[in-house]
Structures are given as structure tokens and as C-alpha cells.
Amino acid sequence: MKTKPFFLWLLPALCLFSCNNGKNAESAGDEKILVAQNGYVTGWNKTAIIRVPADSFYLADINGKICYRGKPGEKKHWSFSDEWVQVADFSSIDQPGDYTIILVGKGIGKSAVIRKITILADPFKEIANAGVKALYFNRCSYPILPPWGGKWVRGAGHTDTTVYVHQSAASGNRPEGFVISGKGGWYDAGDYNKYIVNSGITTYTMLLAYEMYTEYWQSQNLGIPESGNVVPDILDETLYNLRWMLTMQDEDGGVYHKLTTRAFEPFIMPESAVENRYVVQKSTAAALNFTATMAHAAAIFASFSEELPGLADSCSEAALASWKWSMQNPDVIYIQPEDISTGEYGDKNIRDEWFWAAAEMSLMSGSAYPDSLLEKLPFSTPTWNNVLPLGIISTLLKPEKISPAIIDKCNNLFFNYADLLAGISDTSAYRVSIDHFAWGSNSDVANQGLLKMIAYRLRGDKKYLQSALNDMNYITGVNPTGYCFITGFGEKSPRNIHHRVSGADSIPEPVPGFLAGGPNLATMEDCPDLKRNALPALSYIDEECSYSTNEIAINWNAPLVFLSGALSWSCQ
């Protein structure tokens, strides 16, 4: 039996592409080829995932001219999506422009499989800026006006100038029902409440992005009301939340766990939400998060003493006061009151919070470093309830303030884990390090990329940056769902995020720049009428009801900002 010569297999795909300028190329919906939908960066590794058997792949330029021929990598199985895939590596193609990947082979069938890609000098800058701008869109007590908000304008909901002290938070000078002001800050997630333990890691990560990539962030105009002043926009935006955090400290130095309504408000605009707001219970976790964040902020804002007089001193004094309270109240674990049903952020193991706060206090004031905890706590991907890595990162950035023996310990913990992550991605079918799909799995991918970029900055080994690029590729489309998980980006991105403003504003598109939580099996009951895939990497639905997979959160956006900004700066 005769078979067609190879070039005859390729001709239909070439004609389709060249005759239509790529406009009729296979849509993202088919997803036989998974690509970074926001583009690949010149000069660095570029890979796509092939999900159908292919003998060869080709790259054609905008004119339909074949400019690269490659063989897909070996088939590998990814248990998290139960599929066999191959990697198409076209890293040698560096000319910016639009291209098409073309798959051919006996396993493809009569028609070649094609997918459009783009190579850019910097595909990350827009994501980084939008990630910060999303936090602006989530400001509490603040109107979003046309000059800065475009079509996503809204009123200033939740002025929070009349906030009641809940029974659980009552103290001598502030009894139950006492009124305080808790104005400002960011809405924590898809709901309208504000939580200190989540604000801590978020604010720290934003400050860290500026600290490590100062030159980059000094040059970014984010289009927020403060743009154009002396303070870089990323710090102006972070300050909006930091100043709210300062309002959450009681006179005795303790820190309220959260500012909230009694129950989650419905999907209405902020200016229509008028339920009473409360500060709820002081907790040691909140005080330690607050201590660490304020101590770190004091060092950052010391450089802006003329523009922001007294701010660094205020942060330092607040950190000292909350640290003292924590020492006097070392194990006040947050317990959700019976009449409060909003986010708990409960954490019964706060040794990592103790380490982070003590490390930051040591760096700020020279107090004893908590090195005894280094051998007792495992290093893993940072999350709101695992902040040990934050203390180690801060330590490694200021080695002159800590003894060489402690720096060696921190280096070992940090780089052993960074090497572990890089090793996993080298052998992973999807070229990523994630191997556990928890609630907010996309933020784990972003935080793993953050750790790799810090490793790259500290040691200069390109393996870390290359692995971090794969993390960004995953977030922007090289994942089993085929979604670019950032709202407003890519060919296929979430449209129905669990976010009250996006759900109530009558605008078809969601607020842009948010990272959706991503697939996981944490709960399968948030959308009872819809079926979810039982495989962890595929268990995602783009529906408003799916708070477990499609909510947004400030602590998920912060590592996205860090990673995309770090890549934007480092890949040039």
C-alpha cells in the first residue's frame, strides 16, 4: 500500500495558514497543542505540550514559510490528568513574531493539527502591571473612577469608618460595641472582608517584589491615582493595604484577626452592601503576621522618609508593640465565634509565624535570631499558613546582619528545596514542579516560580529561571485545562470568576488581572448542579459558584506580580 509523501501531508496545513494569515488556525478550544497564550520570550526556553501522537512538528512564520522542524520529546504520563503527552521544544526560534505550530504524522490523521503562537521581547510586563492593577480594583472604601478604572468604575463601598468591636475582641478600653475606624485595604478575595493573616503574606510579597527588582518597578506606570508621584506605583498600591493593617492594632499592641460582616454578603456591588462590620478576636497568628510585615515595611520605607515622613517609624513602633503582645500572649489561637461565618483563616500550628516574626525582628532590631526553629520546621512552598520561607528569604537578602553559621543553614534549606522543585520540573510531563493540587493550586505554581526566581537572583544559575518560565507557561495555558488562568489575558481565560464585583457590575468581562484559584479536589460541592472532573489537574470549572476553583484572592495575585515582574526584568 502506498502512502503520501511527507510534503503532501503538510500542504493542507500550510495552505490553511498562509491563505488565511493564521486566522482560521485551530482555536484554543480543541487544545491538542497547549501553548503559552500570552506569548514566549525571546532568548529563553520555549516549549508547548502535545496531547496527540505526533511524529514531527513544524513552525511556520506569518507567511507560511517553514522555519523549524523538530521531533517531539518522549511520551510521558502525568498522573494528575491521566494523560500521555509530549514536549515540543522550539527554543532556538528567537525572532519576535507570530508563528504556527504544525503537527504531522501517522497518528494525526488526514488533517494536520495547528496552533498559533507568538514570540515577544517581553510577554510578562503587561501581566505584572495588570496583577498590581487588579489590587487597585479591589480597594475597599475607595471609588474606582473612569480616569483609572475604565469601564470597571464603581462607588466606594464599605467606608469602614464605623466598625464595631465584636464581643470576641473586647478589651478594657474597647468594650463590645466600641466603634473604631478600619478604612482602606483590599478586599481579601471574592468576598468583601479583610483578614490580617492573609494580608501579611500578600503585603510582604509585594514589598519583596519591589525590594528585589527595584529598578524594574521604579519604571512602571500602573495607571493608578497615585501614578506620577515620587513613590513607585507598586509601593503606593501596597501602602493602601499596609495603612489599613495599621488600623487593626489595638491599644495594647494586639491585632484583630479580621474585619468582617457577620456573614458573607450577596453578589452586589460594594456601594450597595451596608451590613454592619466588626473587628473579630485578637490572635497570636494575626499579631505575628503583623509584626513581620511591619518590621519588613519599616526597612523598605526608610528610603522614603521625605516623601512619607514618619511612616517607617510608625511601622517599626507597631511591630515592636505587636511583638511584645505576642510574647505575652503566645498561644491565642483564633476560634471562629458562633455568630460569624466568614473566612476563618484558622491555623493551630503557628511555629512558622513565630519564626517569620522573630527573623524580621532580628533583622530590624538585632534581637535574638530564631535559629533553633530552623531544624524543627520543614521548608516548603509559601502559603498564608506556611510563612517559614518568608523569614528565610528575608534573612538571605541581608546576610550581613546574621551570623555566617545561620546563613549557611538558611541557604541549605532554601536551595535544597529550590533544587528539588527544579528537578521535579525537569522530569515532569508538563515541565512544572506542582505535584499536589490544593485549594488555590495556581498560587502554588506562582509561589514556586517566586522561589526559583529568588534562587536565580541569588546564585545566577539559569536552571532556576528556565524552570520559573515553565511555571508561567503553565499559568498562561500550558496546563491540562487549556486555560490562561489570568483574567483578561489569552485566548481562553476565566470569564465567571467568584468575585462579587465582577459578578454584580453588569460588565460581561471580569475585572482584569486576577489569577483564578485553579484545579483541585478540596471540595466538589460548591456547584452542586455541575459536574467536576475527578482528576486533580482537570478539576476546574469557569463558573461563579465554584469558589473552590474559580475564586480570586490577594495572596494569589501577589506571587503572580512577583513572578511576572521578575521574569520581565530578568529575561531582557
pLDDT digit string, tens, across residues 338-347: 999 999 999 9
pTM to 2 decimals? 0.95
CB 352 within 8 A of CB 386: yes
pLDDT(45) > 90 = yes
Going by the DSSP 8-state scheme, the letter that residue 176 receives in this structure is T
Grid cell for residue 219: 519604571
CB 341 within 8 A of CB 264: yes
Q: How many whole angstroms separate alpha carbon 516 and alpha carbon 484?
A: 9
Q: What is the pLDDT of residue 321?
A: 98
Q: Where are the beta strands (DSSP E) in 96-190?
A: 97-104, 113-120, 163-165, 179-180
For the chain, what is the radius of gyration of the CA atoms? 25
Work out the average pLDDT over 230-240. 98
DSSP code per residue over 433-462: ------TTHHHHHHHHHHHHHHHHHHH--H
Q: What is the pLDDT of residue 110?
A: 67
Q: How many whole angstroms separate alpha carbon 505 and alpha carbon 39?
A: 30
pLDDT band for position 107 (cuts 50, 70, 90): low
DSSP code per residue over 95-110: S-EEEEEEEESTTT-S
Q: Is there a common fold for 6-11+25-120 and 125-487+549-570? A: no
Q: How many whole angstroms separate alpha carbon 233 and alpha carbon 220?
A: 7
pLDDT(4) > 50 = no
Greater model confidence, 323 or 11: 323
Side chain identity at residue 347, one-letter code? D
Active site residues: 191, 498, 542, 551
Q: How many whole angstroms separate alpha carbon 544 and alpha carbon 526?
A: 10
Q: Mind listing the pLDDT tens digit for each residue in 499-556?
A: 999 999 999 999 999 999 999 999 999 999 999 999 999 999 999 999 999 999 999 9
- Give the list of residues 6+ apart from residue 468 with CB closer than 8 angstroms, or none: 449, 452, 453, 456, 563, 566, 567
Q: What is the pLDDT of residue 19?
A: 39
Q: What is the pLDDT of residue 356?
A: 98
Q: How many whole angstroms separate alpha carbon 239 and alpha carbon 183?
A: 13
Q: Mind listing the pLDDT tens digit for each residue in 172-216?
A: 999 999 999 999 999 999 999 999 999 999 999 999 999 999 999
Question: Pairing state of beta strands 40-41 and 113-120?
Answer: parallel
Indicate the class that CATH gives domain 6-11+25-120: mainly beta
| Domain range annotation of the chain | 6-11+25-120, 125-487+549-570
For domain 125-487+549-570, the question of CATH label 3.40.50.1110 is answered with: no
Residue with cell 468575585: 499
